[in-house]
Each structure stands twice: as structure tokens, then as C-alpha cells.
A and B are shown apart, each in its own frame.
Chain A
Amino acid sequence: MGFDDAQRAYDNCTNGKIELHVVSHPGIESLFGICKDFARTLLDNGIDPTVIKVGRSEIYRLRRLTTSLAMPFDHADMHIKEIRDRLGRLAQDVNYAATKKHLETAMAVCDGVLAVPSNPLEPMLTELVKSGAAIVTKDQSMRDSLTGWVSHTYTSVHLQVMSIGDLRNLDSASRLIYLMSPTYASWKPEVPEWRFARDPKAPESHFIMYPFGEMEVEIPGLIPDSPPRRKISSRVPLQVPFFDATVDTETEWTVDERKAAGSNTGELDELVLGRYVRLAGGFSTFLEAGKEATVFTVTKDSTGKLDVLRESVHALEADRFVVLRVEGTDSDFIQEEADRLGATPFRKSQRRWQEALREARRREGSLTRMRERIKTIHDLDNTGLVDWLTNPRRIGPQSFSDFEKLCAYLQLTGECRDLWEDLQKIRGLHLRAGAGAPRTLRRLLETRQWNDPALQNPGFLIIDRVAEGLGKIGLYRILQIGKVHPVDAWRINAIEKVEARGTELVR
């Protein structure tokens, strides 16, 4: 019932309790200080930032895993031995000489926790688990690590494991058990995210944490300058933790992402900016990263069938299902549909100014000089320049006055009006195609239901419409949205298999 479902959320907002459970482990606690000092010491000794980054990632990885996973320290998913070996190698490296003591202390922490494999988070977790509860991890790679261990350890209790990002899809739980402090749960590089405390999804929220966090936190509302919605305070003394915007946003998947982005890349000016997306089933892809880039996703409609939406790539979140062409004529549905509607004859005008732009790039010899000339002489905003240069899908500037300036720079003034008219036709056909494509896709997907078992596990399915000339369509659950990397244009929307040593193209 609509009122009942909503009322639970309002009740939790009004009456939801938040409790902090502080556990102690001097070795693990010392990692906070080491993390804080490590980079500063190396910087003071003039070490190159790229070298610092490698060592810093390992130490922060150790802190992240030991403070956020309740499983035994010798468990394979904790990677303690692997990290200890890497730290050992770094301690021998002359670049890290100034932080040898930091590295040795961190190695001693590894040895200490491996010698006594019981994890101080585990007994507290065992005390708090109850049927219908959900255990919350900081990120999805931790969720996946913890899921198997929880199902083996707590066999008689029905539990869910989810990341803090997954919480938005949770209707409610009997109890939420966070393996982190509220400060860490809220931490984001830009602005703290307090929704889990502002509107708890359970009557009780428990935080199992080391003594690091804010002693007193006021939870802000969403509307600027509105009064605080709630206050959380600790009776146990806490130290304010140190977070690093670069390293604290890393997860175990970051390693996969780096490997994927680093393979098969050429010169920078031949590349397109693509957002790395990790998909279910051990797949990944790069989605176009421009601010206007969109992708098709599926969701559940009111009758339980699959509904197709067009979403902005930058608004995508984990656990959405993305629609990708696995096999067929073009990975871009809109472009293909626009061509079918009659855009093909006008594409030559699109290619004309793009080729002239690339020619101008070669003539200028430098992207910076090109930018300066476009900005100062022709008074044209050049924020989209790299995208225009590298992305053959771009139709061009949105306004005629901007296009006129671009043509003046490209010495195409005589053709400007004709080119613009063709581009407008392409744009109009793209709009029509954009409006019609969801219907086309919906027809393709109509035989499948939202509760199709394949969509739950393994989290992807392929619909074969090769016989009808429509190729193969894949629906993939998004596991993680990664960063933007320069990649070859052909890798956009292409499905790649994530391998231990990198990625392999599937189609």
C-alpha cells in the first residue's frame, strides 16, 4: 500500500535510532597516523608525486581493508599477505627511504593481524546480527568480498550485505549494521553525504568502528541554510580522521580500472574521453563521457515488464541496467536510427568541419595554441574543443553564432550557412531518433520480464535478434562507475571481458 510504504520511511526519519560501537586495536589504529604522515614526509624529501602515489595506495589499501571488513585477516579477500609483500618491496626502494619506518610499522601491523587472525570487528558484528538486518560496507568491492563470508558464517540468520550506495534501493531493514564510522560513511571528496543518517532506512542503525570520527555531527537538511535535521554525538573519545581525496576514493576495482584504461591506447589526440563502467558477469565497457552523452537503461515498469529509459551517462549509478549493442551494425542506437531516418546524406557536412578542425590542429601544432586562437581571435568558448576534435559522433556547436565563429577559424565562412543547415537536419533527425529509439528497444525487450532470473544472477542477459537484422542486445547490471580515461573511440560502448591481467575485447 502506498501510504504504508511511505509511512515506514517517515517513522524511521522521526524515530530511527543511531548507535556507535567503538572497538579498539592499537596496530590498526596506528595506520591512521601512518597514512597522514606518509605522503607529507615523501613530499618534504622531494620525491616525485607519481612515486608517492604508488606507496600511498598500498598503505591506504591496508587501512581500508582492515578497518572495514569483519572477516578473518588471513581470508583471501583481505589480501593482507599480498599487501605485506608489496610494502616489503617498497621498504627496500630508495625512493621510499624517508618513510622506511612508516612502511615497517605497516608491515608489523600486517604481521600482527596475520598472527592472530581473529578480527576485532567480528565479535561486535556477531552480537548485532539479527534476521532481516543488512550489513553495510563502504563500497561495492567490499560488499562482494563480505557476501560469501557472511553467508558461511551466519548460516541461521537471514542477512543482506550491501554497500552504502546500494542503500538507496533498500525499502527497509530490521536493522542496519555499518562497518565504518558515520564520518567515514558520509565522506565524499566534494561534499559529505548524510542521507543515511538524515533518513535512516531502518528503525536502528549501528556503526561498528575504530575510534576515529567526529565527536559531534549535525546532520544538515537538503535545502541550504535550513536547520539541522539531527545530531549524532559519541560518548567515547574519538580522533578526527584524515582522509585523502585521491586514495580514499579508491577501491579494489580501481586496480582493474587502471589496467583496462591503460591497455590498447594510442596518442592522446586520437582518443575519446570514455567513462569506465564495470559490469556484471566480469565485463566492462567505456561509455561516452561528454556532459550531453546519454545511454539506454532499463528499469521495471508498473506492470513488471522492462521499461527503456534514456539517461545521462554522468547520472548513471551502480545497479542500474545498461543496454548495449553486443553485435550489430553500430553500437550507437540513435546514430543508426537517425541514419535510417535519412541523416546519411548530410553526414558529409558533419565530416567536412570535423576534418577541417583536425587539419587546423595539425597546422597549429599545439592544442593550447589552437585553444588560445579560437578564444582570443574568434571569441568562441572552447570547452568542447577536445570532444569536437576526437569524437566523430559530435554534430557540432549548438548555436549558429558559435558555428559561424568556428567556420571563420576553419576558413569555411563561404560554406558556413550550407553546412549549418545540414547539421540542423542531422540534429532534428537525431531528436526524432532519440524519441523513437526507446520504443524500438522496448519492442525488442518485450519478451523479457524485470524479474528474469538472468538479470538477478549473473546480472546480464543477451537478446539475440540477428535473424531480424537487429543484432544482439545485451542488458548488463552496472557494478561500478569508474573514472574518465582517454580511450580509443572504438572502445566506446564495446563490451570487454575483465581478465586478471587486464581486459580482452569480447566482440
Chain B
Amino acid sequence: MPEATDSRTWKNITVAGGAPLPDWAQFMLDLGRHSGLEYLQFPGHKVWKLVTAPHRGMASAMFALGFMEATVGLVVSDVLNTDLTKLKQGDRITWRHQNNQVECGIFKECRADSKTGEPILHYQPLREARRGDKGFAGNSKRKPYTSSRSLRDAKAWQLSPYDGEDFSLPRPMSNNIEFFKSFYPTSHLELLCNTKYSICMVGRPALWEDLRSHEISISGVSGCIDDLLRVGGDSENPAGDVSHYLTKYFSADRDVLELFNARCCVYDGSNSYPKLKNYIHAQQNLILLDRWETGSVSSVNAFVADFQDAGVNIVNSPKGLNMPSTLEYAEWRDA
């Protein structure tokens, strides 16, 4: 497979405070970007990349950030192509509220306007529906209202399907919206108001510390990687207080009983591979191992054995990237 190339200008990501990223962190970011380009340019090719490091901290988060930067156009496209007219009565939805908040509601129906024929979406904010459940609350004598918006207006206010926990009070779209905008200058509203899982991160609970620690800066605005990747937790590791996510997190300890599809999967640590590899299907896969962990050796061996059996050759350096001497790299591609 030829080298993936792209002429775009990448964001200048620095350590919070403005210092350049350490060479290993820059490499992991670039490897993520490079993997994203491979995903875009060579669809259908499954790739496994293995990196061993003296310390796992921040490395997989940087890789995921690079992948997201390279492929966010696909996420936006997914959002824009969502057909809202296919929503069914009772489906949960959200839409953008004023003051950078999102509100949760219940979809009622989609009817064509009698004059123009344009689809009109009818829905009810959850807080109104709950008023209805309880009857006429407090001093208010009004009936719970139902809202209507044309399809065009609904798109403009980022109305979207929602499958999380119900919430009655509007929630913030982001904990750090300026930082998010600096990374995704266009379409940031679409990304903040929709859940479209693009990356899957599998790892230790300490991965959350990497994701939520204020470590990086873009164009003078600083924040944490979770502000950009918007990582949703599983039931063992609940997510933050926003409602929409772009990245799915699985605990390496989790008993996964259902398949999960993602564009990219990051296995952070030895427990996560090979245990979860049969449940998470992604085209681009990174396994990050700490060379100090006892399980890393067996994980490498399991990995090597998998591909030796398939007769696939190992590549020991990533094409087009300068690898720091502190890291080890191996790569396999499905034929």
C-alpha cells in the first residue's frame, strides 16, 4: 500500500503554556493523523499498529487526537446526512438551546406543511412532558406545549437523535467551547450536538486522567484532550456532564458481550488486547504497551502469533514519520 499523503495544514498543538510537545507525543499525534489519512485514502484495509513505550501516559490520547483531526470531516458528513424525517414517535432527541446549551425532548411526528409541503418536525421538551405527567404544577395553569420546526430550522438548531440518559434541564454543549472551536473551527455546533462515535478507546481507568488533565494548547487556548475527543464512558466509568460524545471508552476489564464498530480503536495496555479484539471492529487499530508491564510481553507474543499464523510480514517503522528512539513500533496489515 502506498504512503498516505495530504496537503492540509495541521493544527499547531503545544503543551499548555506554549512549549512544543515532547518528541514522543508529537510522534503519537502524527501517527494518529497519518492513520486517519490512511483510513480516508485506503478504505477497507485493516491495519494493526503496535507501539511500546517506557510510559503509557498521554500517548494513546495524542494518537486518538491526531486520528480525529484527520477524519473529523467524515464525522461532520455523518451528522449532516442524518435523515431526521426517519425519527419515530417517542424517540429521544436533543437540539441546541440558547447560551451554548442543549435540551432533551421527545419526538412526536413529522408532517408535511399543508401549504408548502415542507416537512415539519413536532416534538416536546422533556421538562414539558414531565409537567404533563404530573399535571399542572405550581401556579402555572398552562398546558405543556409542543414545539414545531421546519426541517431546515431543525438542522439549523442541530436537532438530532439522542440515545443517552434523559435530562430535563438544559446541559452545556461543552465544558470548554472556545478550545473546541479552536480545534474544529467549522461545524463545531454539529459536532457538539450529535453523538457519532468515531474512535473507541479501551484502557485502564487512569486513561481518564490523561484525557481530563489540562495538558495542551491550540492557538493560545488551553484545555484537556477530553474537551476535543468528547469521550463517553461505559457504565463502569461514567462520562462527564455533557450529553453528546465522539469517542467511546471501554474499560479493559469490561465483559463485552456485544460488538462495537468504530473507525479507529486504541487499545491502551496489555489487558485490552487480545481480550477485546474480537468485539471491537475498526479499520485502524493501535495497541500501546508499557514496556514495564508484565503483561506486555505476552500481549506482544499473542499479537505476533496472530499475524505469523496469517503469514503477514511485520513492518518496523512507520512510513513517512521519524520515530523517536525511545519507542518501538510494529505494523501489520491484513492482506
Contacts and interface: CB of A to CB of B under 8 A. Distances in A.
B306 interface: no
Interface string B308-335: 0000001010000000111011100000
Nearest to B255: A435
A222 B22 contact: no
B22 to A, nearest CB: 5
A336 interface: no
B330 A223 contact: yes
Interface residues of B, number: 46
Nearest to A314: B298
Contact of A6 (B59, B257, B325): B59
Given A6-B55, A10-B24, A14-B325, A431 B253 contact: no
Interface stretch (B1-9, B163-171, B202-210): B202-210
Nearest to A434: B255
A223 B213 contact: no
Interface string A1-45: 111011111101110000000000000000000000000000000
Nearest to A310: B253
Contact of A221 (B21, B52, B59, B236): B52
Contacts of A299: 205
B295 A315 contact: yes
Given A6-B58, A435-B255, A302 B291 contact: no
Contact of A302 (B209, B289, B295, B296): B209
B316 A226 contact: yes
B255 A431 contact: yes
B215 A198 contact: no
Contacts of A438: 236, 253
B330 A301 contact: no
Q: Name the residue among B21, B236, B329 with the largest chain A CB count within 10 angstroms.
A: B236
Interface in A410-444: 431, 434-435, 438
A317 interface: yes
Contacts of A2: 57-58, 61, 209-210, 213, 215
A5 B206 CA distance: 13
B102 interface: no
A348 interface: no
Contacts of A13: 54, 326
Contacts of A309: 253
B140 interface: no
Contacts of A167: 292
A479 to B, nearest CB: 17
Given A199-B292, A431-B255, A222 B59 contact: no
B331 to A, nearest CB: 10
A55 to B, nearest CB: 33
Interface in B288-304: 289, 291-297, 300, 304
Contacts of B206: 302
B54 A9 contact: yes
A68 B217 CA distance: 49
A168 interface: yes
A168 B205 contact: no
A195 interface: yes
A307 interface: yes
B291 A5 contact: no
Interface in B259-301: 271, 289, 291-297, 300
A338 B314 CA distance: 44
A10 B50 contact: no
A223 B215 contact: no
A224 interface: yes
B15 interface: yes
Contact of B52 (A9, A222, A311): A222
Contact of A10 (B22, B205, B293): B22
B68 interface: no
A1 B213 contact: yes
B291 to A, nearest CB: 5
B272 to A, nearest CB: 13
Contacts of B57: 2-3, 5-6, 9
B16 to A, nearest CB: 8
A354 B225 CA distance: 53
B25 interface: yes
Nearest to B210: A2
Interface string B82-120: 000000000000000000000000000000000000000
B328 A226 contact: yes
B8 to A, nearest CB: 25
Given A3-B22, A7-B22, A315-B294, 16 more contacts: A3-B25, A3-B57, A3-B58, A5-B57, A6-B22, A10-B55, A195-B292, A199-B54, A199-B291, A221-B52, A222-B296, A223-B328, A224-B304, A226-B316, A302-B205, A315-B271
Interface of B: 15, 21-22, 24-25, 50, 52-59, 61, 205-206, 208-210, 213, 215, 236-237, 253, 255, 257, 271, 289, 291-297, 300, 304, 314, 316, 324-326, 328-330
- Would you list the 10 A-B pairs with minimal beta carbon distance, nearest first? A9-B55, A6-B57, A199-B54, A9-B54, A13-B54, A6-B55, A2-B58, A302-B208, A309-B253, A222-B52
12 contacts: A3-B215, A6-B57, A7-B22, A9-B57, A13-B54, A13-B326, A14-B325, A168-B294, A225-B314, A226-B330, A302-B209, A315-B294
Interface of A: 1-3, 5-10, 12-14, 167-168, 191, 195, 198-199, 201, 221-226, 299, 301-302, 307, 309-311, 315, 317, 431, 434-435, 438
